[in-house]
Amino acid sequence: MHAVSAPYLAATLGLVLSSAAIATAQSSADIIAPVRGQVTDAAAATPLPGAVVRWLGTTEAATTNATGQFSLARPARAEASRLIINALGYRADTVAVAATGTPYVRVDLQPGTELGEVKVEGRAVAYSALTPTNTQVITSRDLTKSACCNLAESFETNAAVEVSTTDAVSGAKQIQLLGLDGAYSLLTVDNLPALRGLATPYRLGYLSGTWIESIDIIKGMGSVVNGYESIAGQVNIRLKEPDKAERLLFNAYANDLGKFDLNLNLATPLSKKVSTALLLHSDHLGRRVDRNNDGFMDLPLATQYNLFNKWKYQSGKGLVSEVGLGALRETREGGQLAFRPENADAYQRDYGFTTRTSRYTGYAKTSYTWPGRPYQSLGLLLSGTSHDFNSDYSYGRVLTPTSTQRTLRQYDGTQRTGLATLLFQSVLGTTAHTYRLGLSYLHDDYREFFSQGVAYATDTPEERYAREHRNRLENVPGAFAEYTYQNSRNLTLVGGLRLDRHNLYGWQLTPRLNVKYDATKNTVLRLAAGTGFRVANPIAENSGALLSSREFLIAPNLRPEKAWNVGGSFTQYFTVASRPATFVADYYHTEFQNQIVADMYSSPNLLLIGNLAPGARSFSRSFQTEVQVEPVKGLTAKAAYKYLDVQTTYGGELLPRPLTVPHRVFFNVGYATAFDKWRADLTVQLYGRRPLAYNPSEPGHQHGTDEMQLPYAPRFALLNTQVTRAFKRFEVYAGIENLTNFRQPNPIDGAAAPFSPAFDAAMVWGPTFGRLTYAGLRFRLE
């Protein structure tokens, strides 16, 4: 008798089709009598070749032949008594098998119709043994280990991604992957590029944690299907599905800074074919807090209203369609405690900043799968974004080394983006050889106004207009092809190539390759190589420096950024006390052919932005090793070490990137009682010394003189903990971030004289407001 069917899976990586929950290690046990059987198409009542049959909890697998037959050796372990059956375009199924004898099983798979990927939930192993890319999954369970009020806080229990604060005033955060800023990682929502361009400074706050089902972190080169912009990797956020999410989820959160969040998720089927989900979020911080007594608010006053509505249609005859619409409004106000933007000459009297953002998004995904050909499908993906913001900053324009002029720095922008992708997928002969072909079109319309209150005597009106208005229109048609080979035993190869015609920068060729080789049943080797290409947005991507006395000097004729990324990983599955464990080590090297370099070294009063100079270098080397174990039931632990070597040529001298941590140690331990009634988690992060850019208020390096060494921030540790108590339909949680109350001394250089040349709020390397306590509750109706 069949067990309950798992959510159906449709391949985006050929036959890489299986739940990551089966990626746990199998101990080397004796093999007993095999299990034989046949897999058929339930709708057509015909044999199904190319289906993958695996033992639950192991990596032992077999593939059905042309008549749908299979034979699979069985380990002696008594718990290995259930088979997982997957096939391209079909819903996966689970079958119980007799523990003795040589049973024969017949499995009828139901056709599936959705273009999707592997869904990982619950206590699934974070590192899948099946995907050709080095992919780590943050599951829905992981997301409850911390407050996870927004996307930025979703990475707190993960070692692969760093989340850093850009400055000590605005509250903006960014991610780092492989030592590179978040702009070099492709951020996708439900596998569609999103939250890019001018949204970069605050984008981690634009997705509520309660909306997220899981997060896939892909290091190195991903698929060419998702575009050419990925250089360091990809972060894909999977939002709650209308047909699978809980009917109601309410979450409330509050902390001792006075911030509170309210979230409400509603999902319901409207018929057998149509379902919808409404995701609502609001957060507010209205209290002026200055714990370090420097006269500046530790966090800006902020209010956000955010909603997203998803609709899903499944015809049952091969057609699936999904539509999503979102809207966001956000305001922020920060600076000195006395700053009030409504006052006359507010930005000249006291230091402050304000920003107002309006954002609207929409997408439509439609796929059709041929009847009787579950491996063949056609998909159309459409998305659009309208992003508008206005921001004002107090600014002390440096006139001489001893005098400044108080003025207003303005940065406003609009972005209109449209993306269309047509995707066809099929096989070459058998399902061991699959391919995807597609066409894409990207439309990006950027309009930026950036004024620093500077009018040069030699300026003509045309020159000043050109300096203050940065408009860019990109139209990029492209085509791509991707081939996947899987021999069902130990080798998966994915090769892709895309060619794009950029209206501003001409033809761009993007090759990518991912290889996975199973050296043994429990040992997986991966290799990734390829190129990435992107057009930078230099002001948005260096927004932290707007909160400083530095004047932006942007070189003309900026070129696109291009880089090669080569790397690989080693994954070993083993057991500790008869329980699964995982060890992973990876190394990636990124070498830029061109990069838009933001030089904070060469001058204390300037931010010099320009192309990588001829003969100069910019690179990132990343090494990480991690081990995950579950020594006893309910107790999980993971530890990781990361080494980063990130260097760029500044003014002819190769120097480490400012604020990049070369050494980081991560440790997380969690315990859950029976039925998850009580859960507790502790995360410890140790940060090594990191280089700082020169500032005249502190003794330090003067670039190019070799008179002094680079100044470095000290080592420090952060401890976070949370406890959760679950009841039948709701759970309450409380936690502490930065348990030891560590703070960066003087996070704002020149805070006492914010209009002076020494003012700089962008050299943030540690916590600015100390210990944070919070509490919340979740209420669910399944």
Q: Is the dihedral of CA 546, 548, 551, 552 positive or negative?
A: negative
DSSP letter at 760 equals B
Q: What is the pLDDT of residue 57?
A: 65
Calculate the CA 159 to chain-centre distance: 13
Backbone φ and ψ for 378, nearest 5 degrees, come out as -130, 130
Burial class (CB in 10 A: 0-12, 13-18, 19+), 377: buried
8 Å CB contact between 333 and 353: yes
Question: Environment class of residue 489 by beta-carbon count within 10 Å: exposed (0-12), middle (13-18) or buried (19+)?
Answer: exposed
pLDDT at position 170 over 80:
yes
* Highest mean pLDDT (candidates 26-35, 247-256, 699-708): 247-256
Q: List beta partners, residue 399.
A: none
Q: Are 648 and 620 in contact (CB under 8 A)?
A: no
Highest mean pLDDT among 44-48, 145-149, 529-533: 529-533
What lies within 8 Å, CB to CB, of 61 at 6+ separation is 52, 53, 54, 55, 72, 488, 489
pLDDT tens, residue by residue, 552-591: 999 999 999 999 999 999 999 999 988 889 999 999 999 9
Give residue 702's pLDDT. 53
Residue 112: pLDDT band with limits 50, 70, 90: low
- Asked if pLDDT for residue 696 goes beyond 60, the answer is no
Give, for 736, the enclosing helix (H) or strand (E): strand 730-737
How would you classify the pairing of strands 233-239 and 185-189? Answer: parallel
**For residue 79, pLDDT beyond 70:** no
pLDDT band at 4 (very low <50, low <70, confident <90, very high): very low
pLDDT of residue 698: 52
Parallel, antiparallel, or unpaired for β 551-554 and 606-611?
A: parallel
Query: Taking residues 409-419, what's their average pLDDT?
Result: 97
User: Which domains, ranges and CATH numbers included, belong to the chain?
Assistant: 20-109 (2.60.40.1120), 134-781 (2.40.170.20)
Answer for the pair 332, 300: CB distance below 8 angstroms, yes or no: yes
How far apart are alpha carbons 749 and 296 in whole angstroms? 12
Let me know: does 762 contact 544? Beta carbons within 8 Å: yes
- pLDDT category at 747 given cuts 50, 70, 90 is very high
Whole-number pLDDT of residue 232: 95
In this prediction, what percent of the chain has a pLDDT beyond 70? Answer: 88
User: What Å distances lie between residue 611 and 185, 186, 251, 473, 741, CA to CA?
Assistant: 20, 21, 46, 20, 41
Residue 365, pLDDT above cutoff 70: yes
pLDDT average, residue stretch 186-196: 94
Pick 577 or 363 by higher pLDDT.
363
564 compared with 60, residue with greater pLDDT: 564
The three-state secondary structure class of 151 is helix
Is pLDDT larger for residue 83 or for residue 533? 533
Q: Is residue 22 very low, low, confident or very high in pLDDT (cuts 50, 70, 90)?
A: very low
Say yes or no to pLDDT of 21 above 50.
no
- CA gap 3, 452 in Å, rounded: 65
Contact 44, 33 (CB under 8 A): no
Locus of tokens 């760093």: 162
pLDDT tens profile 282-326:
999 999 999 999 999 999 999 999 999 999 999 988 999 999 999
pLDDT band (50, 70, 90) for residue 11: very low
- CB atoms under 10 Å from CB of 96, counted, come to 14
> Is residue 669 over pLDDT 80?
yes
Comparing 47-51, 300-304, 478-482, 556-560, the range with the smallest average pLDDT is: 47-51
Instruction: Fill in the DSSP letter of residue 121.
Output: -
> Encoding tokens for residue 762?
């962008």
Query: What are the E-state strand segments in 88-167?
Result: 93-96, 104-109, 134-138, 161-165
pLDDT of residue 233: 94
| Mean pLDDT value across residues 725-745 | 95
The whole-number average pLDDT for the span 50-66 is 76
- The pTM of this model reads 0.84
Residue 515 has pLDDT above 90, yes or no: yes
What is the average pLDDT value for the chain, to the nearest integer? 87
Each as own residue / partner, the long-range contacts of residues 382-385 (CB below 8 Å, 24 or more positions apart, any chain) are 382/418, 382/419, 382/420, 382/421, 383/192, 383/193, 383/194, 383/417, 383/418, 383/419, 384/417, 384/418, 384/419, 385/194, 385/359, 385/360, 385/361, 385/415, 385/416, 385/417, 385/418
